[in-house]
Amino acid sequence: MRRIVVIIAALFVCNALWAQDTKANKILDEVSAKTKTYKSISADFVFSMENKEMEIDEQNEGSIKLKGQKYCVALPGVGIEVFSDGTTLWNYMKEGNQVTISSIDDESSELMDPSSLFTIYEKGFRSEFVDEKKEGTKTVYRINLFPDSDAYEVSKIEVSIDKATMMIHEATLYGTDGNLYGILVKRIESDKDLSDSDFIFDVSKYADVEVIDFR
C-alpha cells in the first residue's frame, strides 16, 4: 500500500516516469513542465479500493501536498499518512499507532520518492494514448501506463488529464494484489504557502505512538 500511496503523489506531477508513446508522452511532458513552475501543489481527492473477490468496495477522502522534493499524503479513512522532507520518509499507520522511519537513500525502489522520478525517464512505465473524450463538463485525455518492473505493485494505470488545466483529473490503478485503486480529484491548487513542517512527522501530535527507526 505504501508504494500505491507514493504513486498517487507521482501522478499529481505526471513527471518523467512516463515514456514511449509519442502523443501520450507529449501530453505528460506538458503536464510535467507546467507543474515544475509551481512552488507547491495541494489537492483533495476521493480514494477508492475495490476487490470483487474479497467483496471490498470502499471510498475514502484523501489529501496531498507537494513542494519540491517534499510530499505528504493523508488517507484518514484508511489510517495512513506518509510524510517526506526529501531526505527522510515517515510512514504512519493508525492501526497499531505505529510510524516507521527510513532514509530516502535506503529505499530499495526509486519510486519511494516521487521527486526522484525525474531521473528515471524512459525506464519507469510504457505509455499509450487511448483517446480524447468528454467526461461531464470536462474534456480529458485518457492515457494508459504499463510498468517495466513489478516493483511498482501495479500492472496498469489508467490516467485522465483535464485538457483545460493540464492537470490530473482521475486515475485507476490495477494492483498486483488484486485490488483496483481509484483516484478522483475534487480540488487542486497551486502555489499555496506550505510550511516545511507540513512534510515532517510530528511525534508530539500522536500520543503513545510506537516509533520504529530504520535509519
> Residues 15-24: pLDDT tens digits?
445 445 688 8
pLDDT at 127: 84
Average pLDDT taken over every residue of the chain? 83
Task: Catalogue all structural domains in the chain, each as residue range(s) with its CATH number.
Answer: 2-206 (2.50.20.10)
What is the distance between the alpha carbons of residues 129 and 27, in angstroms, rounded to a whole number?
A: 9
pLDDT digits (tens, 9 = 90+) for 150-195: 777 889 889 899 999 998 899 898 988 899 998 899 999 999 999 9
Say what the pLDDT of residue 3 is: 62
Which helix H or strand E contains 213, and what residues bound it?
strand 210-213
Q: Among 27-31, 178-182, 191-195, 209-213, which is the least confidently predicted range?
A: 27-31
Q: Which of 196, 147, 140 is nearest to 171 (CA)?
A: 140
CA angle 179, 183, 184 (to 5 degrees): 145
Query: For residue 164, what is its C-alpha cell?
Result: 483545460
Give the Cβ contact number of residue 70 at 10 Å. Answer: 21
Per-residue confidence band for 118, with pLDDT thresholds at 50, 70 and 90: very low
Top-confidence residue, 121 or 157: 157
End-to-end CA, the chain: 21
pLDDT of residue 113: 43
pTM of the complete model: 0.78
Q: Give the rounded percent of residues in the chain with a pLDDT score beyond 70.
A: 81
Residue 118 CB neighbours (<10 A): 14
- Whether residue 98 contacts residue 79, with contact meaning beta carbons closer than 8 Å, is answered with no
Number of other CB atoms surrounding residue 128 within 10 Å: 16
